[in-house]
């Protein structure tokens, strides 16, 4: 079978499995490039070249997995976030584009923070937030924590991949914070309500880790526990930056204000105009001094 024939058949198969035509073309190309070990843009130079038996078998396996509903990102074993390639597999949530807005908000805040700021990334998953912050801000140090030891293995590999492992410390546990006051506590914690779980897209529900999705009965419980402890981990004038689910921003804003530890709590929209980010600015009162 030639590359062109393999692609054509895969596009038909993926469409039969429910992918929209343009997406089927895109993903078939990604999967074939992955099977051959090429960049997708290099596929089209020699469309009549025959696949080796090994390439054909690998490609058919990938297409079958995709048709069964497995996310493309897990099959490729990597995904792009903030312009960097991250290893991803079923131990971690696939980094989402809306989380890039959270990273950008933190970077904007850090631009005015003197010295060598400490950032705590709670629920680091693949390390997408921690690693991209460390790459973009060469002075910052990061404490990246997660309840899942499996996720931390992926995050550590991503830190090494992007040569920032010497500035990121990893710790496992339930909402672990550091002992040193941080300039920023950033978190994209699980926010799906228990009752909404079954209604999630099966590609998400059946493949991504439940611990990365489920935020409690109401969905906001894990985040609310973090809001209660974050003020004691933040330096004066530090920032608590949270990604929230759709429809949760006002409730999370109110929870931050109720602590009395934040002077201002802003809601930011993502590029699609959805309120997905809450930024809470620590007062100086009762806070630790800057480190
Ligand atoms: C929505 S994922 C986000 C992963 C990554 N930060 C990102 O933005 O792609 C949530 C992460 O929080 C972790 N997590 C869930 N409950 C936690 C808890 N109580 N304490 C620490 N981490 C937790 C999960 O294991 C998962 O890696």
99 in contact with ligand 1, CB cutoff 6 A:
yes
Choose one of 159, 190, 214 to mutate for the ligand 1 pocket test, by most ligand atoms within 8 angstroms of C-beta.
190
Model confidence at 42, pLDDT cuts 50, 70, 90, reads confident
pTM: 0.95
pLDDT digits (tens, 9 = 90+) for 97-132: 999 999 999 999 999 999 999 999 999 999 999 999
Q: Whose CA is nearest to atom 8 of ligand 1?
A: 188
Question: How far apart are the C-alpha atoms of 158 and 160, rounded to whole Å?
Answer: 5
Q: Whose CA is nearest to atom 11 of ligand 1?
A: 123
Q: What is the pLDDT of residue 285?
A: 73
Looking at the predicted structure, is the pLDDT value of residue 287 above 90? no
Q: What is the pLDDT of residue 289?
A: 58
182 in contact with ligand 1, CB cutoff 6 A:
no
34 alpha carbon to ligand 1 midpoint, in Å? 28
Model confidence at 45, pLDDT cuts 50, 70, 90, reads confident
Share of the chain above pLDDT 90, in %: 91
Q: What is the pLDDT of residue 178?
A: 83
pLDDT digits (tens, 9 = 90+) for 53-103: 999 999 999 999 999 999 999 999 999 999 999 999 999 999 999 999 999
223 in contact with ligand 1, CB cutoff 6 A:
no
245 in contact with ligand 1, CB cutoff 6 A:
no
Question: How far apart are the C-alpha atoms of 103 and 98, rounded to whole Å?
Answer: 9
Q: Which fold has domain 3-68?
A: Helicase, Ruva Protein; domain 3 (1.10.8)
221 alpha carbon to ligand 1 midpoint, in Å? 13
Domain ranges for the chain: 3-68, 79-282
pLDDT digits (tens, 9 = 90+) for 163-196: 999 999 999 999 999 888 999 999 999 999 999 9
Q: What is the pLDDT of residue 29?
A: 96
pLDDT digits (tens, 9 = 90+) for 11-33: 999 999 999 999 999 999 999 99
63 alpha carbon to ligand 1 midpoint, in Å? 29
Q: Which fold has domain 79-282?
A: Rossmann fold (3.40.50)
Q: Whose CA is nearest to atom 2 of ligand 1?
A: 212
Looking at the predicted structure, is the pLDDT value of residue 288 above 80? no
Q: Average per-residue pLDDT in the chain?
A: 95
Model confidence at 43, pLDDT cuts 50, 70, 90, reads confident
Model confidence at 291, pLDDT cuts 50, 70, 90, reads very low
Q: Are 109 and 246 in contact (CB under 8 A)?
A: no
Share of the chain above pLDDT 70, in %: 98
pLDDT digits (tens, 9 = 90+) for 222-281: 999 999 999 999 999 999 999 999 999 999 999 999 999 999 999 999 888 999 999 999
Q: What is the pLDDT of residue 290?
A: 52
């Amino acid at each position: 079978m030639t590359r062109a024939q393999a692609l054509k058949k895969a596009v038909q198969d993926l469409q039969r499995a429910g992918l929209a035509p343009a997406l089927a073309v895109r993903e078939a190309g990604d999967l074939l490039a992955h099977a051959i070990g090429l960049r997708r843009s290099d596929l089209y130079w020699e469309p009549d070249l025959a696949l080796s038996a090994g390439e054909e078998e690998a490609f058919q396996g990938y297409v079958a997995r995709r048709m069964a509903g497995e996310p493309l990102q897990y099959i490729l074993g990597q995904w792009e976030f903030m312009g960097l390639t991250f290893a991803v597999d079923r131990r971690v949530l696939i980094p989402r584009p809306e989380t890039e807005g959270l990273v950008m908000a933190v970077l904007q805040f850090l631009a005015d923070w003197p010295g060598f700021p400490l950032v705590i990334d709670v629920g680091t998953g693949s390390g997408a937030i921690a690693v991209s912050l460390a790459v973009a801000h060469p002075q910052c140090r990061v404490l990246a924590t997660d309840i899942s030891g499996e996720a931390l293995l992926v995050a550590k590999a991503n830190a090494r991949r992007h040569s920032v492992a010497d500035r990121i410390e990893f710790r496992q546990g339930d909402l672990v914070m550091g002992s040193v006051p941080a300039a920023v506590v950033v978190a994209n914690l699980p926010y799906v309500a228990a009752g909404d779980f079954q209604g999630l897209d099966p590609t998400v529900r059946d493949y991504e880790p439940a611990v990365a999705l489920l935020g409690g009965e109401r969905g906001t419980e894990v985040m609310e526990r973090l809001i209660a402890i974050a003020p004691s981990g933040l330096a004066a004038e530090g920032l608590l930056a949270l990604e929230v689910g759709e429809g949760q921003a006002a409730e999370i804003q109110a929870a931050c204000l109720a602590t009395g530890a934040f002077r201002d709590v802003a809601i930011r929209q993502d590029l699609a105009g959805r309120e997905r980010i809450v930024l809470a600015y620590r007062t100086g009162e009762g806070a630790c001094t800057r480190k």
